[in-house]
Structure formats: C-alpha cells, structure tokens
Structure 1
Amino acid sequence: MEKKLPIVEPIIKCYQSVAYPLSIILAHDEAWPWLYSNFIQLYSPNGFEIMMHNYEDTNFKDYPWLVVNDFESLVEYGEEELVQSLIQAIDRDQYVYLFVDEFYIPRTGSYGIRTHVHDLLINGYDLEAQKFYVSGYVKNSQYTFYTVSFEELASSALNGDSMPHKEIKLLKYSKYKLPNYTYLAYKFDMENVVEQLADYLSNQDTSVRTRMLQSPNHFFSGIQVYKVLYSQIKNASSTGRLELHPFLTMYEHKLLMNRRVEYFIKQKGLHLDAFLTATGTLAEKCLSARNLALKFLFTGDHSILVRLTNHIKELEALEYQVFTDLHAELNTVKPRKLLSKAELFFAESSTKLDHLFELSTDQDNYPDIYDRMASLYPETIASFYEIDRDKANKLMYIFLKSMEERNWPAHHTDWFVSRCRELLNHIEDSVLREMVGDSLKAVSRSRISASRRRMTSSEPQCLP
C-alpha cells in the first residue's frame, strides 16, 4: 500500500520553515493569487540574514488553508510506534513536520559524519518498500524530494539527547476556515502589491500595517537590505567565511517578482512585457551573484570578492530603477471597480452556491446542507436559480428530502409554506417561478398531508 499527499517544489525555498508550508498549499490552484499578492517586502532581523516579510517562523498557523496540530512528545515512543503514528497521520491527510538528526539520513551532508539536527517534511509512505516520502535539503544544498526508510526516519527522530523533545507538527490542507468551516477564498490583491512595493523602495517597515495583530518588529526593511550583502562580503574578506542564504533569498525574491509580472500579463491582461524581461534580468544577475559567492567559498580567491562587490552595486542600482518604474506602472492600473449592492449580493450568493454544491458530492454532508439552506434568506435561494439552475435544483432536492426525513410538526409546515411563497416572490423569471412553484407546491401538499396524519396520532411530535 502506498499513499502520497500532493506537494510541489516552491519558488521560495531558502528557509525550510517557509518552503514546507508553501510546498503544501501551492499544490492547489487557489493559493497562487495569495502568493503573488504577498512576499514582496524584505527585511533583516539581525544584519546578517535577509527574510521575506510574511511568514518566517515555524508556527505555520498564519498560513491560509493550513490547519496545524501539535503532535505529542516522542519521549514514550519506540521506533515501531512512531512509524505507525506517522503512517496514521498521513492516512488522515496530514503532512508531518518534524526534526531529525541528519547523521542517520542518507543523502544529507551530515550522514554518518556528524550530528546535525534539522527539520524535515513527510508527505507519504510506501508500506511495501518500507519507506517515507520526504522533502528537504540534501548534499550540495539541494532542495529535493526523496525517500527515507522507516528505520532511518525513526532512528533520526528518536536518537540524540534532545531529539524526543523536539516539536512535531501535523499540517493539513483545508479549503474551509475553522472554526465556522466557511469556504476560504483569496482574490489577488493589487493594492497590497503596490503598497508593499512602495514600502520596499522607501525602506518602510511593513510590519506596522499589521500592528493590530502584533507589535512591529522594527527591523531594517526594504531595498536597504543590500547592506547585508556588503556586510557579508566585508566579513568574508577577513574571515574567509561567507553565508549564502542572503544571496539565495535575493535571487528567489527577484525570481518571484518575475513570475508575478508573468501572472499580471497572463491572468490580468496587463501589458508589462518590458518588465517581464527586466525582472528576468534581475533574477539572472542575482543568480550570478550567488554563484560568485559560491565560487569564493570553493576557491578562497579574494579577487572574486571585488568582482562580487561591483556586481552587487550594479544590481542594486538596476533593481531600484526597475522596481520604481514597475511601481509607477502598477499604480496607474485602475483598481477593481466597486460593486453595486446587487452585484455584491450575487457575488456572495455565487460563493455560497459553489460551497454548498461542493458539499453535495458527499451524502454525509446532506444534513449540513439542510441546516445551511434553512438559515438562508429566500432571496438568496432565489438567486441560486438565477446563477445556476442545475446546481440550485440539486440543492433544493437535498433540502426538501432532508426536511421530509425530519418529520416536522404542523406549525413548521406552515412556516415552510410561507417561506415558499416568499421565495417565489423573489424570482422574477415567470417560467422559472412557475417551475419552482410547482415543485414547492407538491412538497407543501405532501408536508400538510403528513402533518395531518401526525396530528391524529396518539403521541405528540416534538421538535427534532
């Protein structure tokens, strides 16, 4: 038996705490507008690292569509019990995020050499081959998908003094937002893109925009994070050590901007071909800077640092010009026109209709559909028929069938008949009104007849 949960290689993968949740949610089309609306601002928390403003810790609970549960401590687990628990989590469609000692993990740079605790994501298993499907960094700092045997994974998670106490999180993709289980949709937000781009160019702290949720971080932000690269080069000239993560983050930032512009062109119909070329050039130059930094680490040739410094200076100037022009161009794009009350009503009704219809694919959801429809205004149900008759008919059938099974008393029948009349008043199409009316009259007669039979029974009927 084999099971693999969907997963993709994310654009942002410099830090696994960002790469892992993105690899889960970006396997679903509805997440891409959210990605392209965010991850624009950069900041440095300490002068040595560069992060993308949005989600950088291992909490994961702020990611849309991601339901996060903490796993119990591993202190009491044996290897077999741990493997079975991880398999059961996958069977519940939960990805497993955990820390392992890479000394026990083949393909990693620490395998069989030294203890190195790092995080790992499990997205599947193969019982016959006795292996887990995982993702993470292997030798040569390559982010990839690979397999680890049950025995290797259990050993890497349980061995070491601190390993059983490390956190494990279970991550599940859900289209519905808890606790109300409402459908979660995210529309591309051009205004947010323009605001974040303005913050980036002016070195403004974007975290002040979310201060109602948490205190601003007050780290230095924006295009001035290039100072981190210069600082890294200066440090390398005296120590011979150079941290690659800031260079990789800058490359992924420009690559994502290039993909974002491509999205503007293909999905939004904007004429930005020149910016597609320009941001592509920026991404290539950032990759060249990363490669120069890597070459220095391999060779120790200090002349490379001079070339790298000049390259970064040219890159910074070009990026500022390209992003300034792009911001000006996007700022001229007319914002989405405000919807009238009628348009907004139909947009909300359409979302409700799609949500209910999706639930209708599983009969176990019928009681939930009934409860939700019973709480809707008649004009909302009427709008369902105007949006999609076939979907509305199916939902109405489920609603009426569920009502029959609940055996309502007489006064509930009267309530339902009045609801039917009110519903018909909101359907303007005469043919449609007659069709729905005939259906509802038939059910009303059935309900009245059933109600009268119950009134003659010896036992009083109670509300369900």
Structure 2
Amino acid sequence: MAASRILPLAVPEIISYPHISYALSVVSLAPEGVDWVFSNYVQLCMLDHGSTVEMRYFIPNADLFPFPGLFGTQHIRRDWILHYCPSFVDFVRFSIDREFYVWTFVDEYYIPGTRSYRNQSFEHSIMIHGYDDERREFHISGYLESQRYMQSTLAYDAAELGFTEMRVPENHYANNTHLLTRSVNGYEFKTHWIMEQLTDYGRARPSDVRMEIFEERKECPYYWGIGVIDGLQEKLRQHMSGETFVDHRPFFILLEHKKTMNRRIAYMAEHGHFVFSDAVRDGYREIESKAQTIMNLELKYLMTRENRYLTQMIERLGGLREAEAQTIEQMLAQYERHDQRRKEG
C-alpha cells in the first residue's frame, strides 16, 4: 500500500494574511490555542508608505516568535533544501512524517488554481500538511482561486517545479521555509488583556511602547487603533486627487477585525469569561454591517472607477468610527464596573 499521512488543520479565525492564517490553523486545533487567538488580534495599526498602505494586527508573527501550542518555528533556507535533499517532495514527506507542517514559498506560475498559473511568475506561500503517494499529491492550504484562503491538493510534480524553479534575490523572505509542529504548552484566556488592547484601540494609542523591544523605528506615518479609520479617510482623499491608490486589502482587514470582534464577544459569553450587554452585542453587529457596506463600496469602485463610491466610503467610515468609539467606551465601562465589584468583594 502506498504511504500517506495528513496532519490535522483547524479553520483559522484570521485569513487576511498567510503568516497569520497558517499558524492559527495549527494553534487552533487545541482549546487553549483558541483561547489564545481570542485573547489577541484586537489592536490594529496602519503604515502609510505614501503610494501604498499596510494594515497590520499588532501581534508578533509565528515565523519569528513562539506561539502557545507551537514549538516555535524552524527556518530552513531554500538553497539548503535544494543542496541536501534528494527532492523537495522527499523533504516534505520526511517533514510531515515527523509531524512538521511545511510553510514554504513557490512560484505560482506552476501552481494550478492560482491567478498566476501559466501566466506570470509570482512567489507566494502555501502550507503543506499531508501527502498521498498513491495519488502523488500533497494536501495544502493557501490563497488559490480568486486569492481566497482554502484547502486543496497539489500534484507532486507541480510542487517540485514551483519550489525549484522559483527565482528570487538571495535575501528575499521567500527563500525561507518554516516548519511548524504542535506542542502541549497551554494558555489561559485573558479577559483583562483583551480590555487593555481594546483601550489602546479605542483611544488610538500606540501599543508598541508597552515593550520597547518591539518598538520599531518608524520610517513612515503610523495610525493606531481606531485611528486607522482616520488614515483610510485621508488616503481615500489622496486617491481621489490622484496622489495615491488604495486597494481593497485594508478594507478587508477592517471588516475581518469587526467579524472577529463579534465572534470574540460571543466566545467570551459562551465560555463564561465575560458577558457584555445587549446594547454592546447589537452595537458591534451593526459595526460589522457598516464595515461590510464599506467593503462593498470599495468593490464597486474597483469595478467602475467612479469616485462617487470613494466619497460614500469616506462618509461611511466616519459613521463607522463614531459607532465603534461609542460601543468600545460601553465595553470598557462595563468591564471596569465588573472589575471594581470583583475587587470589593
């Protein structure tokens, strides 16, 4: 019988970035990992590079820092694999047999189902979590059809070509392959930490000053927390005047942030961590709806290039900011009253 092995994957809460979704699909296999996910991913920041903007969740990345539920991340340079392994396929099979998930980069020109397949060279990441020798295919997760996060399969031959034929500069991040493996180290849900992050978010305060070791030298303007909405409004105004171009990605992350907040509120109530009022729950559902409308307007703009949609987005972003600021203040006040009662008695 031909050999096969498939490591389990969870559906990640965050799918806007590969470096987040791949790690979370492993971390979230354990209940303690889900606790960790919902205790984090509250704070946002946005970098204004001038011609582009970059929206981030303010949290260390699994390719650089250990996460609860993972034994850190092993990094292997691409040229080491090419030099020391009989083939990339053999390297992956060897790794999976030892319970390592293989997070690597390939040239999508060779990867069926991607936008660049047989069209153009484009380096992008996939994570391989299983193999099947009889079918000669890997089980992968990645950003495939319409650049949506999904699970699929990939033929051995296509994976081999995608890895070996990729051409990037020597110091390029795509030259790194990361190996993830699960650990039993746990994590306790931290309601107080959520509220601290939410305080920074709601008051547009920078969070990197909490630990100077993570404080980057800023080469461009930063927006923090709810202030990212102000930044997006300003960039859209620049977009309308022809100074820059704002694509859909920051609006997708803004929407994802609201969806995750609603799931977090429900998770906290379900597991007995904290129950917010009906007004808060209704408020954040309405905030998510507002963010969805803004995302829809962005898609309409991309299809039509009509500036009236950008004007509507600027206006609706203002409404979103106002609603979210009000709801966050309610959340902080409710938690503060609860915490005070707990201390008193």
Q: What's the TM-score, normalizing by structure 2? A: 0.87
- For the pair 1:266 / 2:270, whether they are aligned, the reply is yes
Partner of 2:94: 88
Partner of 1:192: 193
Partner of 1:118: 124
Partner of 1:69: 74
Partner of 1:372: none
Any residues of structure 2 matched to 1:140-151 within 5 Å, and which? Answer: 140-151=146-157
| Cα pair 2:136 2:156 within 8 Å, conserved | yes
Q: Distance in 1 between matches of 2:312 and 2:96?
A: 49
Q: Distance in 2 between matches of 1:172 and 1:336?
A: 42
Q: Distance in 2 between matches of 1:109 and 1:134?
A: 17
Q: Report the secondary structure of 1:99's partner residue.
A: strand
Superposition deviation, residue 288 in structure 1: 1.8
Superposition deviation, residue 20 in structure 1: 1.0
Amino acid at match of 2:333: A
Amino acid at match of 2:69: W
Partner of 2:182: 173
Amino acid at match of 1:115: S
Two-structure CA RMSD over aligned residues (Å): 2.4
Structure 2, unaligned runs of 5 or more: none
* Structure 1 residues 161 and 271, CA gap change in structure 2 (3 angstroms): closer
Q: Report the secondary structure of 2:247's partner residue.
A: coil
| Cα pair 2:107 2:165 within 8 Å, conserved | yes
Amino acid at match of 1:205: P
Q: Distance in 2 between matches of 1:337 and 1:328?
A: 14
| Identity fraction in percent | 27
Q: Report the secondary structure of 2:15's partner residue.
A: coil
Q: Distance in 2 between matches of 1:314 and 1:174?
A: 44
Superposition deviation, residue 129 in structure 1: 0.9
Structure 1, unaligned runs of 5 or more: 176-183, 339-464
Partner of 1:398: none
Q: 1:20 aligns with which of 19, 22, 34?
A: 22
Q: What's the TM-score, normalizing by structure 1? A: 0.66
Superposition deviation, residue 335 in structure 1: 7.4
Any residues of structure 2 matched to 1:192-341 within 5 Å, and which? Answer: 192-211=193-212, 213-215=213-215, 219-239=222-242, 241-268=245-272, 270-334=275-339
- Say which structure is richer in helix: 1
Superposition deviation, residue 45 in structure 1: 3.0
Q: Distance in 2 between matches of 1:31 and 1:335?
A: 29
Q: Report the secondary structure of 1:45's partner residue.
A: strand
Superposition deviation, residue 273 in structure 1: 3.1
Q: Distance in 2 between matches of 1:295 and 1:324?
A: 33
Q: Distance in 2 between matches of 1:335 and 1:3?
A: 52
* Structure 1 residues 107 and 336, CA gap change in structure 2 (3 angstroms): farther
| Cα pair 1:242 1:297 within 8 Å, conserved | no
RCO greater where, 1 or 2, for CA within 8 Å and sep 6 or more? Answer: 2
Q: Alignment length, in residue pairs?
A: 328
Q: 1:162 aligns with which of 151, 168, 171?
A: 168
* Structure 1 residues 217 and 336, CA gap change in structure 2 (3 angstroms): farther
Q: Distance in 2 between matches of 1:74 and 1:132?
A: 21
